């Protein structure tokens, strides 16, 4: 990360004792916990709400301002750090203050800058944790959304979109409470894993005492040389049938909400899916391909030769059998008739303590203008999907991702204008 020009802000050097006097609390940790790092920063003389513009000179930079939030139709980066948060406050004013505080900090992070200017005073906590110093912006995008529970906690149920409801229980779900739900989410994607982690860590730190992480997951993607669809841990291409991110007309049909305070936003579905690699690795290639309904090496659907060839899900061979098995993942998903924008990442988190098997799989992320699109696909897969033999859904959440931010505004302003 690049430290901003030190002349932009005059840094006050104060002793630890003076800082504690300013905050009125007897220990630095307690001060941060009670009022948030942002409160301590203000007491020290930092202006954490100062407007920040998108940099025009930063390397590998994704823009923050625009009609939509970044990280949705942005070209997929190689890494993600996804965090589901619980809020520790109970009023809409607290939420508004948080978003006003986060907005310039998000811009600075996406500019490849530090959260705040560095200080040379070693007696106080640094404004930025520092692990991204020397790294560029790495195409960092930050996407923030609100879960159904947030509206209940803040007593603003009348503003909760009708579509924003917890997902139903699906066949074969084995959800774990510690990986399910959340009041807010932060999706940080970047071409450097440390940049993505740094972004979430510092935003949560800046809001200490206001939010806490409920669950999180790091993930990764690797792209073939020369580009192309990334492979998941089953070695099959993942995301072939996505809408084109450059086709605004199609995205308006599939992704972007077109009404209410969420207009220009979207819904994010997150699913933590364990992939049983040991079972998969003992399965023949023929059965693996029949599970997906695609050839592994080319990614082409059964009966076709190229990855993006279209196909008729009802097509049959000369014996009257489906060319694409009717229990295959692709057959059932296509038959649902619903479309979503997938933006998923693989994860590997060591081994399962009780079995020694890989704790690995997919942090499934999809964007859609209505969560019912995802529900339709998942219900179509149901108990018939042959993929069920090899995966278990462990976590689940849904969030309303706010519209983009215009210069001079702040994250989620349309929600507060609707109050």
C-alpha span between 180 and 306 (Å, rounded): 37
Q: What is the CATH number of the domain that holds 258?
A: 3.30.70.1030
Q: What is the pTM of this model?
A: 0.90
Task: Please check whether residues 205 and 328 belong to one and the same domain.
Answer: no
Residue appearing with tokens 């589901």: 84
**172 part of a folded domain:** no
Task: Please check whether residues 85 and 138 belong to one and the same domain.
Answer: yes
Helix (H) or strand (E) holding 374: helix 371-381
C-alpha span between 28 and 23 (Å, rounded): 9
Task: Please check whether residues 304 and 357 belong to one and the same domain.
Answer: yes
**355 part of a folded domain:** yes
- 417 pLDDT above the threshold of 60: yes
pLDDT tens digits for range 238-288? 989 999 999 999 999 999 999 999 999 999 999 999 999 999 999 999 999
C-alpha span between 229 and 240 (Å, rounded): 7
pLDDT tens digits for range 127-167? 899 999 999 999 999 999 999 999 999 999 999 999 999 99
**5 part of a folded domain:** no
pLDDT reported for residue 47: 56
Residues in the chain: 419
Number of neighbouring beta carbons within 10 Å of residue 11: 16
Q: Does residue 1 sit in helix, strand or coil?
A: coil
- Taking residues 109-115, report their average pLDDT: 95
pLDDT tens digits for range 302-335? 999 999 999 999 999 999 999 999 999 999 999 9
Range of the domain at 214: 48-166+178-263+403-417
C-alpha span between 400 and 403 (Å, rounded): 9
**69 part of a folded domain:** yes
pLDDT reported for residue 179: 97
Number of neighbouring beta carbons within 10 Å of residue 314: 12
Task: Please check whether residues 84 and 221 belong to one and the same domain.
Answer: yes
| Pairwise pLDDT comparison (370 vs 19), residue with the higher score | 370
Task: Please check whether residues 43 and 54 belong to one and the same domain.
Answer: no
- Taking residues 50-60, report their average pLDDT: 93
- 22 pLDDT above the threshold of 50: no
Our count of domains for the chain comes to: 3
**10 part of a folded domain:** no
**41 part of a folded domain:** yes
C-alpha span between 135 and 71 (Å, rounded): 19
pLDDT tens digits for range 393-411? 999 999 999 999 999 999 9
Task: Report the percent of the chain where pLDDT is more than 70.
Answer: 88
Task: Please check whether residues 42 and 55 belong to one and the same domain.
Answer: no
Of the candidates 353, 364, 381, which has an alpha carbon nearest to the alpha carbon of residue 268?
364
**252 part of a folded domain:** yes
Task: Please check whether residues 284 and 321 belong to one and the same domain.
Answer: yes
**368 part of a folded domain:** yes
pLDDT reported for residue 30: 41
Task: Please check whether residues 348 and 223 belong to one and the same domain.
Answer: no
C-alpha span between 415 and 418 (Å, rounded): 5
Task: Please check whether residues 257 and 310 belong to one and the same domain.
Answer: no
Number of neighbouring beta carbons within 10 Å of residue 7: 7
Task: Please check whether residues 243 and 315 belong to one and the same domain.
Answer: no
Task: Please check whether residues 257 and 161 belong to one and the same domain.
Answer: yes
C-alpha span between 38 and 100 (Å, rounded): 11
- 1 pLDDT above the threshold of 70: no
Q: If you average pLDDT over every residue of the chain, what do you get?
A: 90
- 45 pLDDT above the threshold of 60: no
| CB-based contact 331:324 (threshold 8 Å) | yes
Task: Please check whether residues 196 and 56 belong to one and the same domain.
Answer: yes
Kindly report which listed range (54-68, 107-121, 214-228, 355-369) carries the lowest average pLDDT score: 107-121
């Amino acid at each position: 990360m690049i430290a901003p020009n030190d002349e932009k802000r005059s840094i006050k050097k104060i002793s630890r004792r003076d800082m504690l006097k300013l905050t009125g609390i007897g220990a630095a940790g307690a001060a941060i916990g009670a009022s948030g790092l942002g409160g301590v920063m203000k007491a020290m003389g930092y202006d954490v709400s100062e407007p920040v513009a998108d940099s025009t000179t930063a390397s590998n930079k994704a823009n923050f301002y625009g009609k939509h939030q970044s990280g949705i139709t942005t070209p997929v980066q190689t890494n993600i750090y996804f965090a589901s948060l619980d809020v520790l406050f109970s009023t809409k004013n607290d939420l508004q203050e948080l978003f006003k505080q986060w907005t310039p900090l998000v811009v600075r992070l996406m500019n490849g800058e530090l959260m705040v200017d560095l200080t040379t005073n070693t007696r106080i906590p640094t404004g930025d944790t520092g692990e991204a110093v020397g790294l560029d912006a790495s195409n960092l995008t930050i996407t923030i959304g609100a879960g159904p529970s947030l509206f209940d906690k803040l007593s603003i149920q009348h503003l909760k979109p009708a579509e924003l409801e917890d997902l139903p229980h699906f066949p074969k779900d084995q959800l774990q409470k510690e990986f399910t739900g959340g009041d807010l989410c932060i999706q940080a994607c970047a071409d450097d894993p440390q940049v993505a982690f740094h972004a979430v860590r510092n935003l949560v730190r800046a809001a200490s005492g206001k939010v806490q992480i409920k669950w999180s997951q790091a993930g990764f993607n690797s792209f073939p040389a020369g580009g192309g669809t990334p492979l998941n841990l089953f070695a099959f291409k993942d995301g072939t049938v996505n809408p084109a991110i450059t086709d605004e007309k199609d995205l308006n049909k599939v992704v972007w909400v077109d009404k209410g305070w969420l207009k220009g936003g979207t819904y994010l579905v997150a699913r933590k899916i364990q992939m049983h690699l040991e079972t998969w690795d003992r399965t023949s290639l023929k059965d693996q391909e029949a599970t997906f309904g695609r050839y592994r090496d080319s990614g082409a659907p059964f009966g076709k030769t190229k990855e993006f060839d279209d196909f008729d899900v009802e097509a049959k061979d000369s014996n009257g059998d489906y060319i694409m098995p009717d229990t295959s993942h692709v057959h059932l998903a296509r038959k649902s008739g619903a479309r979503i924008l997938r933006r998923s990442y693989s994860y590997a988190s060591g081994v399962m303590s009780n079995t020694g098997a890989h704790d690995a799989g997919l942090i499934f992320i999809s964007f859609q203008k209505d969560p019912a699109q995802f529900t339709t696909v998942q219900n179509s897969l149901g108990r018939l999907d042959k993929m069920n033999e090899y995966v278990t859904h462990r976590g689940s959440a849904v969030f309303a991702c706010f519209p983009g931010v215009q210069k001079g505004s702040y994250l989620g302003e349309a929600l507060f204008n609707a109050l």
